[in-house]
């Protein structure tokens, strides 16, 4: 499979970079559009998005490099070659979250308000970005057969791209992309139609939904980041699920002032006061 989307001679544009960029673009659109409904200050939002993306990319790369440190000590120049792959989503999420916590506290902004907006954009970015792994022939699974993939309903072009290292592989990138896409649709529908949605529930749902997916799918992967005998992504996924359950249930017994959006609050609920 050709990893290069466009070769201009003096520069090559990789499919991996295109899908990562496209995922970020769609995420920014979703986040910006929803943040405007909550009347969040535009300057704050732009700074938050820009810096979160930058720090997230750096964090995702450092996370990947640290778990492959033996290789990169011998090949230090390759640390900068992110177009070859090697962005660990957990590292990106954790590093971006640290910045978001700091920036919200600095500007006296409610953290959970921001996270409930951000996770919807994040999960669709993950669904799109995973296709960069497809073109880089990474994030693949255990050995399987062509017939098994056909019987599982995997699209033929995906199957053809899963012939890696002389064997057909489970398209774990594809499983995760589909899972994230349906998570995005679910959150979008619930956010639009529910009149009982409370703060923290979208964030909690994201952590649980993605945590379960990664925990299961990582068990099929053949190129996981390892911490001794442990697949580090599975360990982090368990933490995600536990934190997600806590965040999801935290506001359940609180009053109506904890409803997420004023325009979908039940009748007689007190008016929300948003920040600008």
Residues 16-65 have pLDDT tens digits of 999 999 999 999 999 999 998 888 999 999 999 999 999 999 999 999 99
In this structure, is residue 263 part of a structural domain?
Answer: no
- In this prediction, residue 98 carries a pLDDT of 98
**Domain-located, residue 70:** yes
Residue for token pair 């007689």: 268
Containing 196, the helix (H) or strand (E) segment is none
What is the pTM (predicted TM-score) of this model? 0.89
How many domains does the chain divide into? Answer: 1
Residue 107 lies in a domain: yes
**Residue 115 and residue 112: Cα distance in Å, rounded?**
5
Residue ranges making up the domain that contains 95: 13-78+85-253
Sign of the torsion formed by the C-alpha atoms of 90, 92, 97 and 99: positive
pLDDT value of position 254: 56
Cβ neighbors of 67 (< 8 A, separation 6 or more) are 88, 225, 226, 227, 232
The tens digit of pLDDT for each residue in 175-229 reads: 999 999 999 999 999 998 877 788 999 999 999 999 999 999 999 999 999 998 9
Task: Give percent above pLDDT 90 in the chain.
Answer: 80
- The verdict on residue 2 lying in a domain is no
Please check the confidence at residue 261 and state whether its pLDDT lies above 70: no
Does 217 fall in a domain?
yes
Q: Above 70 in pLDDT, residue 139?
A: yes
Q: How confident is the model at residue 1 (pLDDT cuts 50, 70, 90)?
A: confident
Residue 74 lies in a domain: yes
């Amino acid at each position: 499979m050709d990893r290069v989307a466009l070769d201009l001679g003096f520069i090559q544009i990789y499919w991996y970079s295109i899908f990562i960029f496209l995922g970020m673009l769609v995420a920014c659109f979703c986040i910006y559009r929803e943040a405007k409904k909550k009347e969040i200050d535009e300057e704050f939002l732009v700074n938050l998005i820009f810096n979160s993306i930058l720090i997230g990319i750096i964090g995702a790369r450092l996370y990947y490099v640290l778990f492959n440190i033996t290789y990169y000590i011998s090949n230090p120049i390759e640390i900068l070659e992110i177009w070859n792959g090697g962005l660990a989503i957990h590292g990106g999420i954790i590093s971006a979250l640290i910045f978001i916590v700091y920036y919200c506290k600095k500007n006296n902004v409610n953290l959970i308000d921001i996270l409930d907006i951000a996770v919807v954009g994040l999960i669709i970015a993950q669904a799109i970005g995973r296709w960069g792994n497809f073109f880089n022939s990474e994030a693949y699974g255990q050995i399987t057969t062509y017939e098994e993939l056909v019987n599982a309903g995997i699209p033929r072009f995906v199957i053809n791209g899963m012939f890696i290292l002389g064997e057909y592989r489970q398209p774990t990138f594809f499983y995760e992309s589909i899972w994230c896409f349906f998570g995005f649709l679910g959150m979008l529908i619930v956010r639009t139609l529910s009149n009982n949605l409370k703060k923290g529930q979208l964030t909690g749902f994201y952590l649980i939904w993605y945590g379960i997916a990664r925990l299961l799918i990582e068990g099929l992967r053949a190129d996981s980041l390892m911490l001794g005998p442990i697949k580090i992504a599975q360990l982090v996924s368990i933490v995600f699920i536990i934190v997600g359950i806590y965040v999801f249930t935290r506001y359940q017994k609180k009053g109506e002032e904890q409803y997420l959006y004023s325009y979908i609050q039940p009748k007689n609920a007190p008016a929300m006061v948003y920040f600008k």
